Amino acid sequence: MVILFRLSAIFAVLTLFACSKSSPNSPMCRVSEALLSESVHLGSSMGESPVGAACLIKTGNKVLMVEHRLSGKLDFPGGTSDKNESLACTAHRETWEETGFNVEVSAYLSTTSNGLVIFGCDVDAGIERLPDTFDAPSWAKLEVVRLIKADPFMLDHDGLRFADDLIPLRDGYTQFDIKQR
C-alpha cells in the first residue's frame, strides 16, 4: 500500500511538471576554434565508449553544478547525445537545457569511468555575480532543483550523483586553467 501511495505521489508530481512550459529552443552550438582544431581521443581510460557529454564551468574558485531533483546530489550539467550530434554540441545543448547558460565549449578535459566526456566551458553572462545557490530555469525544474557554485575540493564522493566523478571533477578544474593559458 505504501509503495502504491509513493508511486501515485510521483506520478502526480510528474504530471504537474509535465504541464509546465517546455524548454526554449537551444541556441546554436558554440565550440571554440582551439577545440575544433584539437585532435583528442574521447574514449575513457577504462575503454568505454562515450555515452554523453557535460560542461565544467569555472566561476572564480568554484564550479557550477546542478542539483538533481530525484537524487538531491550534485552533477555536471550534461547528458546523453542526440543522434548525429557531436559530443561538444551535446555538452553545449545539455548545459543550456539544465542551466540556461549559452556556453562556449572550449577544451576537452577528460572522460569519466562511466563514459561521460567532460569539456571545459566558458560563460560570458556575469555568472560570477550570481549567488552561490540559485534557481534553475523554469523549463529545467523537472530534472534540476537548483544550480550551485561549489568548491570542488570541498565536495566528497557522497555529495555527487556519480561518486566516481570526484577525481575527474577535481582534475578537470585544475586542467582547465592550464588549457586556458
Q: Evaluate whether 107 touches 87 at the Cβ level (below 8 Å).
A: no
pLDDT of residue 9: 45
Residues of the chain with pLDDT under 50: 1-20, 39-47
The pLDDT, as a whole number, for residue 15 is 44
- Around 58, how many Cα atoms within 13 Å sit in the side-chain half-sphere? 19
pLDDT at 137: 94
Q: Write down the pLDDT at residue 125.
A: 76
Distance between CA 63 and CA 60 in Å, rounded?
8
Best CA proximity match to 95, nearest among 71, 63, 132: 63
pTM score > 0.85 for this model? no
For the chain, which domains are there?
Answer: 26-180 (3.90.79.10)
Give the per-residue pLDDT at 48.
57
* Strand, helix or coil for residue 118: strand
pLDDT score recorded for residue 178 = 65
